Amino acid sequence: MTTKPLIAALSALMLVACGSDDDSKTQDVSLKFSASVSAEAVACGTRTTLVGKGNSGNGTAPDVKDFRLYVSDVQVATATGEFVSVKLAESDWQQKNVALLDFEDGTSSCTAGTSETRLVVEGTAPEADYSRVRFTIGVPEALNHLNQETATAPLNTGGLYWSWAGGYKHARIDVAGWNIHLATTGCTLDNNNENLDCSKSRPNRPTYTLENVDLASSTINFDYAELVSGADISTDTGGAKGCMSSASDPECATLFTNLGLDLTTGQCQGGTDSCDTQTWVTVK
């Protein structure tokens, strides 16, 4: 007589457990990326496409030297649902919630780069029909001030680090005579060079939300021509050649607008979590 309620209770528990298993199913997520100069694919050496307003308004053909950037906080969402985090697969290109994208192959003009390239971010997310993607360009603050010499890949990559106080270069996009190094600025050290204070820093980490993404076939493209649209990459009017993320560098004003960042604060324009005013990242 007492076994029937027990059997019923056990059956109910099994049903709940099965339902929980279904709810926890995951799927592989692979986001493909590319880089271009307008319609021309980025490659080391001189591109033929003219960009910016150099050469009396006719633009300049950029001689690509480097094109690498970190992406972090990768998220996906359905057409109407909430964004969920993609759990990145651990590899030499990805750790925790940050991944390195590398569009240069160390040949021709890219002598400071590496032979390996990386055009994808891989991980898992709960099963769903995703069509929106959100990510941030840059190393998260929690990882931005590691010791590069002891950090694990990809945060030990050469050429993408300024200093302990300066942190990582969130993006390094160089052409001959004109460099773009996007990084957090304004972190300070005390007189003993021990305690780091980033409370008044400019984060300079743009966050982008992209719609109508087909995870199976879409490619997220970074267009250098759009990034430097309105700039003159054939000359420099102050500071380092190009833009080193300084709010006082005259070359940074146009670039930050194209990135969707406020030059003064280093935050997304309008104070939102997504730099929707950006013009250089699109879905193909």
Domain boundaries, the chain: 38-283
**Which tokens is 93 given?**
């290109």
Report d(CA 89, CA 40) in Å as an integer: 31
Residue 271 has what DSSP assignment?
G
Residue type, 8: A
Integer CA distances (angstroms), 85 to 18, 52, 98, 268, 277, in order: 24, 36, 12, 20, 23
One-character DSSP codes across 124-144: EEESS---EEEEEES--TTTT
Tens digit of pLDDT per residue, the chain (284 long)? 444 544 444 444 444 444 444 557 999 999 999 999 999 999 999 999 999 998 778 899 999 999 999 999 999 999 999 999 999 999 999 999 999 999 999 999 999 889 999 999 999 999 999 999 999 999 999 999 999 999 999 999 999 999 989 999 999 999 999 999 999 999 999 887 788 999 999 999 999 999 999 999 999 999 999 999 999 999 988 888 999 999 999 999 999 999 999 999 999 998 888 899 998 999 99
Q: How many CB atoms lie within 10 A of CB 153?
A: 13
Residue 270 is classified by DSSP as G
Q: Answer whether 166's CB lies under 8 Å from 53's CB.
A: no
SS3 13: helix
DSSP 3-state assignment of 220? strand
Compute the distance between CA of residue 67 and CA of residue 50 in angstroms, rounded to an integer.
Answer: 18
Per-residue pLDDT tens digits for 114-170:
999 999 999 999 999 999 999 999 999 999 999 999 999 999 999 999 998 999 999
Average per-residue pLDDT for the chain: 91
DSSP structure class, residue 261: B
Dig out the tokens for 243 from the structure.
Answer: 């833009």
d(CA 83, CA 95): 20
DSSP string, 58-118: T-B--EEEEEEEEEEEEEEE-SSS--EE-EEPPBTTEETTEEEEE---S-TT-TTS-S--B
Judge residue 50's burial from the number of C-beta atoms within 10 Å of its C-beta, 0-12 exposed, 13-18 middle, 19 or more buried: middle
| Amino acid (one-letter) located at 140 | P
Strands 242-243 and 84-85: unpaired
